[in-house]
């Protein structure tokens, strides 16, 4: 039985390399190659009865990127498997793809054997994530858990909010009726507690926690 594959990647050299690997395999039939996700969405919509077993996609592409493509495909037809092959190893991207039921993820510098193993595993009904991707995902989950466990007192929230609004130490002290020395202690403690390096890190945290509006 032949499996029908579609590939989306806007780098011609990588696309050609992938095609030459897959054309050597007897089990795979390449239905379509595309430079972006929108071509694939159109193809799936125009050919609703076509048996599509796996779509291999990059993340960075014009018009419709790989993250959006995965999400749209899974909403249209959960039977279509998706494998991301990308240079990106951004934790938030990986998180988003896993959340939207991507079937696999390998880096572009993976060996040919691993790529073929990923395809075979996914077509066999299982998920495949390379070790590098799994490690990033797990580390991100742990750091998020740690961040969620951090509890700031109301006074610490007041101080970090004013720091993020670019008030000076003296202005914060005046506003909160505390000494300048106390505010400096709060600032040092907040940097240590939130594991950031400087005031910019505190500001980023305040934005993330929505203490201030961007």
Whole-angstrom Cα distance, residue 120 to residue 131? 17
Q: What is the pLDDT of residue 92?
A: 87
Report the alpha-carbon angle 185-195-149, nearest 5. Answer: 100
Q: What is the pLDDT of residue 214?
A: 75
Is the pLDDT at 142 greater than 80, yes or no?
no
pLDDT, mean of residues 68-86: 92
Q: What is the pLDDT of residue 178?
A: 93
Domains and CATH numbers, the chain: 3-134 (3.40.50.2300), 149-208 (1.10.10.10)
Is the pLDDT at 143 greater than 80, yes or no?
no
Q: Which of 171, 175, 169, 160 is nearest to 211 (CA)?
A: 160
Q: What is the pLDDT of residue 130?
A: 94
pTM of the full structure: 0.69
SS3 of the chain: the string is: CCEEEEEECCCHHHHHHHHHHHHCCCCEEEEEEECCHHHHHHHHHHCCCCCCCEEEECCCCCCCCHHHHHHHHHHHCCCCEEEEEECCCCHHHHHHHHHCCCCEEEECCCCHHHHHHHHHHHHCCCCEECHHHHHHHHHHHHHHHHHHHCCCCHHHHHHHHHHHCCCCHHHHHHHHCCCHHHHHHHHHHHHHHCCCCCHHHHHHHHHHCCCCCC
């Amino acid at each position: 039985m032949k499996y029908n594959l579609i590939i989306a990647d806007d780098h011609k050299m990588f696309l050609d390399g992938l095609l030459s690997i897959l054309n050597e395999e007897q089990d795979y039939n390449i239905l379509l190659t595309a430079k972006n996700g929108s071509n694939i969405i159109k193809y799936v919509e125009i050919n609703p009865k076509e048996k599509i077993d796996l779509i291999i996609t990059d993340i960075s592409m014009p018009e419709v990127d790989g993250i959006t493509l995965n999400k749209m495909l899974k909403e249209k037809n959960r039977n279509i498997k998706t494998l991301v092959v990308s240079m990106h190893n951004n934790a938030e991207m990986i998180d988003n793809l896993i959340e939207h039921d991507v079937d696999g993820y390998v880096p572009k510098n993976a060996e040919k054997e691993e790529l073929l193993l990923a395809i075979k595993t996914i077509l066999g009904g299982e998920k495949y994530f390379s070790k590098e991707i799994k490690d990033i995902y797990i580390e991100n989950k742990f750091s998020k858990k740690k961040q969620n466990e951090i509890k700031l007192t109301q006074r610490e929230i007041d101080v970090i909010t004013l720091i993020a609004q670019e008030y000076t130490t003296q202005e914060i002290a005046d506003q909160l009726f505390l000494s300048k020395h106390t505010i400096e202690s709060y600032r040092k403690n907040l940097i240590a507690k939130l594991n950031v390096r400087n005031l910019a890190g505190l500001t980023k945290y305040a934005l993330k926690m929505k203490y201030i509006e961007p």
